[in-house]
Amino acid sequence: MPKILLTNARSLTNKLDELNIVLTSNKIDVSVVTETWFSADLPLEASCIEGYSQIRKDRTERRGGGVAIYIKNDIASRPLDLVVPEELECAWVHLRPKRLPREVSSLALCAVYSPPASPHEGVLLEHLSESIDLLRNSHPDIGLVILGDFNRLDISDLCCFSSLQQVVEAPTRGEAVLDLILTNVSSFYESPVTAPPIGRSDHVCVIMPGKHRQTSNTVHKKVVRPMRDSDSRAFGSWITTHSWDEVLLATSAESKCDAFYSTLKCAVDKYFPTKVVRLHCRDKPWVTPCIKALIEKRQKAFHKGNTSAWKRYRNRVIREISTAKRNHYRDKVEHLKTADPKEWYRNIKDMTGIRRDQGNQILGVDNTNPKEAANAINTYLAAASQQFPPLSLDELPSFLPACSPPPVVTVWDMYHQLRKVKVGKAAGVDNISPRLVREFAFELSSPMTDIFNTSLAEGSVPSIWKKANVVPVPKENPPRLDKLRPISLTSIFAKICEGGQTSVTPVECTNRPRQPSQLD
């Protein structure tokens, strides 16, 4: 990231030589100077600095004010085509250094001078907000740096609604912080430091150096289980001929469930093997491993000079990206047209990359040790049920257990329940895909019916159906241990049997008359 200097010169005409030395000695890439006091009749040649290009916005009506931006010649730059109201002292420039973090496509820099008690403060804030929206609309990954002398202008709403951070903390004039830097790329910069003023100016200089990152890319590995049509056909050939004797001949619900999962998981691993994919932290949401593989093949063909293969892969990459974008719009974006404003705003911030990552830092927990943090959360969540004594079978009412025979679920009832599974839901602790359950509902209905009916007859639930993946969702930010909401994800089969249990519950248990002491 370019090294940036901000200063209020209070007349730069007689301080150009000193500014030149400051820029050179500090290896500054971009410098913003406010209160240049340049007049419109001062030629550009009279305000230039060797090795830097310049962009100026001079005050025309009276003496004082004005801003100037100096950009090192080795940084590609151009003035941004934004309409700036004549009464404002702002200058915009687009920067494209030779190297930038992958997360940032380019930089838009704005130099601002807001005079004390200016009557145009509202116009300035509106201009900055609208310009930011226009830039993000055309360049979603653009880095924004808005800096200058804001005097006492309230920029809190601008920072909040535009997801910018004000990073200057040290006083810049006396005890006041007047020279500010607002940016959305603060994570790529060190904290700004102050330097002596230029000449007799009463404002110190502010220097913001870029961070030297040790690693350029952050890659996460994810285990996925592709379900190709050819694999589904092979799995279907197996399951349609399997008799499930190991389940039907078992004597208890627990052993039946163990045999069922043992057989099913072996078949799933055989016909739908897992693979590891690499995901970059800033990949677009529609980028797939297939697109990445095609791009890699395209690059290899180009470097080998194989023109025909390169063109073939190039065209395939274009088609795959276009298809992936359409699918992403259909699945993730189209429904937002009818969504509530909260969901719309949250998804838009996610897709544009301006939503701040809240992280997993929980107050009151040692977050440096993930295992201890997980144990602390588990202990707290489990305490809610441990305060009650365990149930004793000896204390059950005298009319229990229920009279024989127990209720029975038919194969067709189970089949219809399996067919209702939503394929978009996440798999539970057993990692059985909802798509697999729904597609092969007929073949799975027979062993599942036997397990469920045995469970009803025994009055016991297989242990695997009692397990769940629990996600602690914070009720407020920053999250606290006593403000976590547990979201449990059980297996698909456990949910189905839980619903089946409700459907066969005796009528006298579901339609009991309300007791007089019960509240309305």
pLDDT at 221: 80
**DSSP-assigned letter for residue 331:** I
pLDDT at 213: 61
The pLDDT of 457-471, averaged and rounded, is 88
Residue 376 predicted with pLDDT over 90: no
Residue 343 predicted with pLDDT over 90: no
CB-based burial label for 283 (10 Å; 0-12, 13-18, 19+): middle
Which is higher by pLDDT, 519 or 121?
Answer: 121
Structural contact between residues 159 and 180, judged by C-beta atoms closer than 8 angstroms: no
Question: Cα dihedral sign for 347, 350, 355, 357?
Answer: positive
The pLDDT of 218-234, averaged and rounded, is 85
Q: How far is CA 469 from CA 47, 484, 490, in A?
A: 65, 15, 7
The pLDDT of 444-452, averaged and rounded, is 94
pLDDT at 519: 41
Structure tokens at 158: 């601008």
Q: Give the predicted TM-score (pTM) of the model.
A: 0.57
> Per-residue confidence at 520, pLDDT binned at 50, 70, 90?
very low
The pLDDT of 307-321, averaged and rounded, is 91
Instruction: Show the beta-strand stretches assigned E in 125-187.
Output: 143-149, 165-166, 179-183
Strands 30-34 and 4-8: parallel
Strand partners, 280: 219
Structural contact between residues 144 and 181, judged by C-beta atoms closer than 8 angstroms: no
Residue 375 predicted with pLDDT over 90: no
Structural contact between residues 274 and 225, judged by C-beta atoms closer than 8 angstroms: yes
Q: What is the rounded radius of gyration, in angstroms, for the C-alpha atoms of the chain?
A: 33
Strand partners, 194: 206
Specify which of 38-52, 118-132, 484-498, 504-518 reaches the highest per-range mean pLDDT.
Answer: 118-132
Residue 443 predicted with pLDDT over 50: yes
pLDDT at 40: 84
The pLDDT of 330-347, averaged and rounded, is 79
* Max intra-chain CA distance, the chain: 103
**Cβ atoms < 10 Å from Cβ of 35:** 24
| Residue of 259, 197, 187, 271 lying closest to 234 (CA atoms) | 271
Residue 267 predicted with pLDDT over 90: yes
pLDDT tens per residue, range 93-152:
999 998 888 889 999 999 999 999 899 999 999 999 999 999 999 998 899 999 999 998
Q: In whole angstroms, give the CA distance from residue 135 to residue 141.
A: 9
Q: How far is CA 302 from CA 310, 313, 315, 319, 453, in A?
A: 5, 10, 13, 18, 62
> Per-residue confidence at 389, pLDDT binned at 50, 70, 90?
confident
Residue 500 predicted with pLDDT over 90: no
Q: How far is CA 238 from CA 133, 331, 449, in A?
A: 56, 32, 20
DSSP state string for 177-203: --EEEEES-GGGBPPPEEEPPSTT-SS
Structural contact between residues 494 and 513, judged by C-beta atoms closer than 8 angstroms: no
pLDDT at 386: 78
In terms of C-beta distances under 8 Å and separation of at least 24 residues, what long-range contacts does 467-471 make, across chains too?
467/429, 467/491, 468/428, 468/429, 469/428, 469/429, 470/378, 470/381
pLDDT at 199: 87
> Per-residue confidence at 424, pLDDT binned at 50, 70, 90?
confident
Question: Cα dihedral sign for 413, 414, 415, 416?
Answer: positive
pLDDT at 38: 92
pLDDT at 202: 92
> Per-residue confidence at 517, pLDDT binned at 50, 70, 90?
very low
Structural contact between residues 159 and 182, judged by C-beta atoms closer than 8 angstroms: yes
Structural contact between residues 192 and 155, judged by C-beta atoms closer than 8 angstroms: no
pLDDT tens per residue, range 178-187:
999 999 999 8
pLDDT tens per residue, range 23-56:
998 999 999 999 999 988 899 888 999 999 999 9
**φ and ψ at residue 457, rounded to 5 degrees:** -65, -35
Q: In whole angstroms, give the CA distance from residue 95 to residue 107.
A: 5
| Residue of 6, 4, 2 lying closest to 179 (CA atoms) | 6
Residues contacting 393, CB < 8 A, separation 6+: none
> Per-residue confidence at 351, pLDDT binned at 50, 70, 90?
low
For the chain, the structural domain boundaries read: 4-208, 230-272+358-386+396-509, 284-355
- Average pLDDT for the chain: 86
Q: In whole angstroms, give the CA distance from residue 89 to residue 71.
A: 18
Q: Which CATH architecture has domain 4-208?
A: 4-Layer Sandwich (3.60)
Give Cα 358 to chain centroid, integer Å.
10
Of 161-170, 277-286, 320-329, 393-402, the least confident: 393-402
pLDDT at 481: 79
pLDDT at 131: 95
pLDDT at 414: 92
| Residue of 16, 40, 134, 138 lying closest to 89 (CA atoms) | 40
pLDDT at 242: 95
Structural contact between residues 447 and 244, judged by C-beta atoms closer than 8 angstroms: yes
DSSP H/E element including 225: none
Residue 335 predicted with pLDDT over 70: yes
Which is higher by pLDDT, 2 or 508?
Answer: 2
The pLDDT of 438-458, averaged and rounded, is 93
CB-based burial label for 219 (10 Å; 0-12, 13-18, 19+): exposed
CB-based burial label for 430 (10 Å; 0-12, 13-18, 19+): middle
**DSSP-assigned letter for residue 173:** B
